[in-house]
Chain A
């Protein structure tokens, strides 16, 4: 860990209410993700079975910027 990682926010800043983000996700969360991904795929199964090819092919825009 370097010095910078320990710098504390000045208490006057309005960001203080923002939750502090952990630097690394823990492995328990990764297990949870596996389950959630599987559940999500179950939920969208019907959507994917239906016309995936046509939907993708028909998704045509004009160039932007």
Chain B
């Protein structure tokens, strides 16, 4: 399929700090953060009127899962809306805590690691055809996911026992242990195979990509999801002969690539067939194949735009990565850290450097360093703020999410008791009317219209 359904789940890190001292545990501050949600939905796990899901996840991480999107601009807007929604919760929780006499500030981070080696994720979900061949994933998708960090990585100052402190591309390099598996918390894989399609299980699967970083950059989110869609189209199209790029050791390659952001460490990955290539060469080869594939097909224009931008990034990476500070997280962060280090003559291990690394991901629009750079026009935006604000209350119109959002809004207005999940809309009255939405592509349904009109 070329038109595809996808969504992002993002776990946020949270802390409450006064002069550097942690005053409340993440559990406690998350509970305060979700008071408003619980008051609204009588649960800390709710679906909102924009079709998204907002909840407190394992480990007290506030988590936001976007509604199903079939358009990359919608996805960026829905994902940004999640951050704005959580920020509004932060604002009211901050007021409550001040009223209760606590002195301190809530920090909500959109990153993937803390200072103690714990990790939390940004998972990409792609609706795929049921009939899948994992060998084709190994040959083409895994090599793509392992090497795309050269442009999609959020960057991080990493310290490891063996290599000391260095600037790495991926926030997740030290936290991914397997290539393909069904685990998530104990042994994180690159892709997760647990079979929860949230759709007609005879027709669809849901590919769960775990390996990616939480991007601040809208550009990176747009391009990573768009290009992954194209790779999946090629994998699903059995008439397309894929070049076998199976990696000899995907996890080892993932870590080595992360350690060599500028390619001056001459990192090469080894394919199962013995061939060696740089991560940039691997990306270029995949990109070339994708370009040949789309030439003969009717591909959605937003995915073609992602492909064009991907090619542009690869060309620039060959010339001078630093020019990409206007679109890639790791380059923007690296530039900021280097400016600080040059000015104060600091080593990478300096706490100020680590604080800048962290504050880049601060979701507070006035405080967060990504947001301050973006506000000055230093990072490219893919959608304007008005579109993000609209996505705070409006679900995507072209997918199943439209019906979920409309149902939640109407049921709330009419004060009706209801239960919603990804595939069901249910009224908890005597008749217990339920609409089952097995097709995520379908944005209209007569049964849904009847249910909505009866409210």
Contact = CB atoms under 8 A, between A and B. Distances in A.
A58 B118 contact: no
Contacts of A30: 322-323, 325
Interface stretch (B95-103, B250-258, B353-361): B353-361
Interface string A39-65: 011011001101111111111111111
Interface centre among B302, B307, B326, B358 (most CB of A within 10 A): B326
A61 B339 CA distance: 29
B19 interface: yes
A64 B380 contact: no
A4 B352 contact: no
A64 B354 CA distance: 21
Contacts of A14: 71
B20 A64 contact: no
Contacts of B407: none
A54 B20 contact: yes
Contacts of B164: none
A5 B15 contact: no
Of the four ranges (under 10, 10 to 19, 20 to 34, 35 or more), the interface on chain A belongs to 35 or more
Nearest to B309: A21
Interface residues of B, number: 73
Contact of B355 (A4, A52, A65): A52
Contacts of B369: 40, 44
A63 B352 CA distance: 24
A24 B219 CA distance: 13
Nearest to A64: B120
B205 interface: no
Given A13-B301, A55-B17, A65-B120, A25 B60 contact: no
Contacts of A59: 13, 15, 22, 109, 114-115, 358
A10 to B, nearest CB: 6
A3 B355 contact: no
B335 A65 contact: no
Contact of B120 (A10, A23, A32, A63): A63
Given A4-B304, A63-B119, A33 B378 contact: yes
21 contacts: A3-B295, A4-B307, A7-B304, A15-B71, A15-B73, A15-B301, A21-B327, A23-B309, A27-B323, A33-B378, A37-B336, A52-B20, A55-B355, A58-B115, A59-B13, A59-B15, A59-B22, A61-B13, A63-B58, A64-B57, A65-B11
Which 6 A/B pairs are nearest by Cβ-Cβ distance?
A: A51-B20, A64-B120, A62-B59, A54-B20, A23-B312, A53-B351
Given A2-B311, A63-B58, 11 more contacts: A4-B308, A5-B311, A18-B382, A29-B326, A33-B325, A41-B336, A56-B351, A56-B358, A61-B26, A63-B59, A64-B121
Interface of A: 2-5, 7, 9-10, 13-15, 18, 21, 23-25, 27, 29-30, 32-34, 36-38, 40-41, 43-44, 47-48, 50-65
